Amino acid sequence: MSVTAPQGFRAAGVAAGIKSGGARDLAIVINDGPSRAAAGVFTRNRVKAAPVLWSAQVLSGGRVRAVVLNSGGANACTGPLGFQDTHATAEKTAEVLGDSAAEIAVCSTGLIGERLPMDALLAGIDTAAAQLSRDGGLAAADAIRTTDTVSKISFRRGEGGYMVGGMAKGAGMLAPALATMLCVITTDADVSAEDLDVVLRDATAVTFDRLDTDGCMSTNDTVLLLASGASGVRPDLAEFGKVVTAVCADLARQLLVDAEGATKAIAIEVVGAASERDAVTVGRAVARSNLLKCAIHGEDPNWGRVVSAVGTTDAAFEPERLNVAINGIWICRGGAAGDDRSKADLRPRDVTITVDLSAGSHSATVHTTDLTAAYVHENSAYSS
Amino acid sequence: MSVTAPQGFRAAGVAAGIKSGGARDLAIVINDGPSRAAAGVFTRNRVKAAPVLWSAQVLSGGRVRAVVLNSGGANACTGPLGFQDTHATAEKTAEVLGDSAAEIAVCSTGLIGERLPMDALLAGIDTAAAQLSRDGGLAAADAIRTTDTVSKISFRRGEGGYMVGGMAKGAGMLAPALATMLCVITTDADVSAEDLDVVLRDATAVTFDRLDTDGCMSTNDTVLLLASGASGVRPDLAEFGKVVTAVCADLARQLLVDAEGATKAIAIEVVGAASERDAVTVGRAVARSNLLKCAIHGEDPNWGRVVSAVGTTDAAFEPERLNVAINGIWICRGGAAGDDRSKADLRPRDVTITVDLSAGSHSATVHTTDLTAAYVHENSAYSS
């Protein structure tokens, strides 16, 4: 299923030898049409990996025949030769498919600053192309994993019978954990590239963009939406947007619970904000507090660390009107101690921190995880 | 020594019973004059503790007779009653000293959101006042510790024989570790409150403001500079500024090496910046990367995490002109791999990461620490 749930798509995932250890590390997703409409969103990091620079050019044309994805190397900060490697990857795939490299998107994930083993990668494209199938979605989702402990896939059926499917790896869009978030979403709905672009930007803004596991922004983040039109269904755009958003939200949730070292899935729910922007700003500030993330790891309802994070923002609020609930217990009321903090039960994996700014009627939720010794361990030993 | 190194100051530090366990938790520093000129800088967090709100009012008058400091409770987010507690602390001290509460500054540090045990605190003021002495600087520095493993003190002699002394606790000014940074600096130079204000702002801007151990901003941060004029020396302001800056830098260094759980003292030295602001922005972004801080903990010269942090800023730079050195080895040149990364020796406690933006002639250094399992442990178990 995953990206092959919609009609018109085939996929494969193979072990090309890019990673040491023999795990799958190369995936191809191909759109057999009849449409090739596509849209993409990319990292806002100013240091962009070669595949991001390449794929942004491809997507500016609004058409994608295939996506080639590799784990085992980010191909970021690799200079002009790294860009040539991405170009060669697209050319090779185009050659195998008998198509144009200008419609081949490329995604990479792994360590920054090292060239990819191109002999292995190009040979892997031959292998993967030979295995492309309607059943290949799971293997493709497996091949893009780095520190992900499980594959992330999702699909939903829309009104009229069209499908939306997706796969993802990593944790976070604007602020992912280690390495990179990559996501490919497919649909057999018949939607123009322009409409796909609007739908994808709206969907990512309220899903991946509100996932903030460690405040770091990758050089490689890419989310692609490809439409084959094979179902013949032309969906209502609002309804289509809801389905795509649901798939993105499902994948975002899977990224969150698999984030490195995490033992808690924390939702920072900001209400009573003067604007949605204020709500997101506050949610992100709270989600980035290492002190709070440690406290939640220790199951300590330390609302002072919530309030002090809120105070670093420029959002509209008065300190003496702030209310904070942890898992439904309003332990801070009017900027001071409220209900008995011992009533806040932090034992469940899911933790909801509600911040009421008492400044308006807007709201937003940002998702993060706790900060653990396992996160430190995993990220102390990545490249060495 | 510490705050009692300059003439005209007495101090005391006592165990008032605010902390459980019987450690010192209350300090008084008193300026016997003849001058009482003083200046202060405070946290920029919009959620300010009661003692910060109080002391900012006191300092607006430019005169301080005494500073009362307690550990064991931050008196932040404690509402109007918490502010009354601070007021009562100042009133009690004024009464004991036979002076005006309007010239008594108050500082608190500890857990947010809980009222202080005022009976113990007020009784402690009597005890401390009875012990005020020219030898009390060390006991005062000891009494303001929370998770600090050692007292932080410093002093320097200026031209003409005047002295500057200081004590501090915590880690960081704008972005301190747990709880709070408090710092009291004293001098027997004869300097007006207006000049003290300029000197203190300049000194903190290049010292405490460039210490960023975990990106969190406290509700209580306070740095006070008190001048007794007792030496009779009216220093050249530029020279006086250098001496005060040296004391601040020394205390900042002591805070850094004692930061919670830290095993590395990391200097992020940004050169080739188009402006000092750009240099500080880049230094702070790199200093706040959890991924980088984990890598340095693991002695892994992962320059990709440096470059990706630089890419999140709005500083002037071109990705293909970025150079990064770790402990003097330029392992990233022109935005790609440079010298052999295995040559970067990360075993020493002190680590210097140099980022060359190749965009101008300005520079700045931001100091941080590594992120360790010990940090997580300490901050998972603070209030519970």
Maximum alpha-carbon separation in chain B: 68
Give me chain A's average pLDDT, please.
92
At B60 the pLDDT is 97
> Which of A96, A90, A10 lies closest to A56, judged by CA?
A90
Q: Is the peptide bond before A34 cis (omega within 30 degrees of 0)?
A: yes
- Distances in whole angstroms, Cα of residue B307 to Cα of each of A91, B294, B312: 29, 15, 9
Structure tokens at B160: 């003409």
Q: Is B86 exposed, middle or buried (0-12, 13-18, 19+ CB in 10 A)?
A: buried
Mean pLDDT for the stretch of residues A147-154 = 90
Q: How far, in Å, CA of B219 to CA of B211, rounded?
A: 16
Q: Under an 8 A CB cutoff, do B336 and A79 touch?
A: yes
B52 pLDDT higher than 60: yes
Summarize pLDDT for A255-278 with one digit per residue, the tens. 888 887 889 999 999 999 999 999
Angle formed by the axes of helices A118-131 and A79-97, nearest 10°: 20
Best to test chain B binding among A112, A178, A303 (most B CBs inside 10 Å) = A112
Binding site annotation covers B372? Answer: no
The residue among A290, A317, A329 with the most chain B CBs within 10 A of its CB, best to mutate, is A290
Q: Is the ipTM of this complex over 0.90?
A: no
Contact assignment for B382 to A300 by CB distance below 8 Å: yes
DSSP designation for A169: E
Radius of gyration of chain B (CA): 21
Mean pLDDT, all residues of chain B: 92
In the Cβ-directed half-sphere of A289, how many Cα atoms lie within 13 Å? 37
- Residue B218 pLDDT greater than 80, yes or no: yes
Do the beta carbons of residue A313 and residue A282 sit within 8 Å? yes
Q: Tens digits of per-residue pLDDT, B224-248?
A: 999 999 999 999 999 999 999 999 9
The pLDDT value recorded for residue B374 is 86
**Tokens of residue B226, six digits:** 């008190």
The answer to whether the beta carbons of residues A115 and A82 sit under 8 Å apart is yes
Q: How far apart are alpha carbons B216 and A251 in whole angstroms? A: 30
| A137 in Cβ contact with A28 (< 8 Å) | no
Between helix A303-310 and helix A276-287 the angle, nearest 10°, is 130
Backbone angles phi, psi at A13, to 5 degrees: -140, 125
User: What is the per-residue pLDDT across B316-358, written as a single tens digit (0 to 9) for each?
Assistant: 999 999 999 999 999 999 999 999 999 999 999 999 999 999 9
Do strands B265-273 and B350-356 pair parallel, antiparallel, or not at all (unpaired)? parallel
Q: What is the pLDDT of residue A176?
A: 43
Average pLDDT over residues A292-309: 92
Query: Per mean pLDDT, which of A88-97, A283-292, A299-308 is the most reliable?
Result: A88-97
Residue-level pLDDT at A256? 86
In terms of CA atoms, which chain B residue is nearest residue A323? B77
CA B352 to chain centre: 21
Confidence of residue A316 (pLDDT cuts 50, 70, 90): very high
Q: Which two tokens stand for residue A269?
A: 């729910």
Closest C-alpha among A295, A292, A289, A297 to residue A261? A297
Q: Which helix (H) or strand (E) holds B243?
A: helix B237-257
Give B70-128 pLDDT, tens digit per residue: 999 999 999 999 999 999 999 999 999 999 999 999 999 988 899 999 999 999 999 99
Which tens digit of pLDDT belongs to each residue from A35-93? 999 999 998 888 999 999 999 999 999 999 999 999 999 999 999 999 999 999 999 99
Helices (H), B206-236: none
- Record: contact B311-A219, CB cut-off 8 A: yes
End-to-end CA distance of chain A: 36
In tens, the pLDDT along B165-203 reads: 999 998 644 444 344 689 999 999 999 999 999 999 999
**Structure confidence by residue, pLDDT tens digits, B149-165:** 899 999 999 999 999 99
Confidence label for A172 from pLDDT (cuts 50, 70 and 90): very low
Spatial separation of the C-alpha atoms in residues B291 and A380, rounded to whole Å? 8
**How far does B106 lie from chain A, in Å, by closest CA?**
20
Q: With contacts defined as CB-CB under 8 Å, which chain B residues touch A381?
A: 298, 300
Percent of chain B with pLDDT over 70: 97
Q: Which residues of A are annotated as a binding site?
A: 146, 169, 180, 260, 379, 384
Work out the minimum CA distance from A294 to partner chain B, whole angstroms. 5
What domains are defined for chain A?
A: 2-257 (3.60.70.12), 265-380 (3.10.20.340)
Model confidence at A171, pLDDT cuts 50, 70, 90, reads low
Of chain A, the percentage scoring pLDDT greater than 70 comes to 97
Band of pLDDT at residue A374, cut at 50, 70 and 90: confident
Q: Do B294 and A379 touch (CB under 8 A)?
A: yes
Peptide bond into B34 cis (omega under 30): yes
pLDDT computed for residue B171 by the predictor: 62
pLDDT at B269 over 90: yes
With bands split at pLDDT 50, 70 and 90, how would you rate the model's confidence at A180?
low
Integer Cα distance of B144 and B64 in angstroms = 19
Read out DSSP for B248-311?
Answer: HHHHHHHHHHTSTT---EEEEEEEEESSHHHHHHHHHHHHT-HHHHHHHHTT---HHHHHHHHT
Element (H, E) at B362: strand B362-369
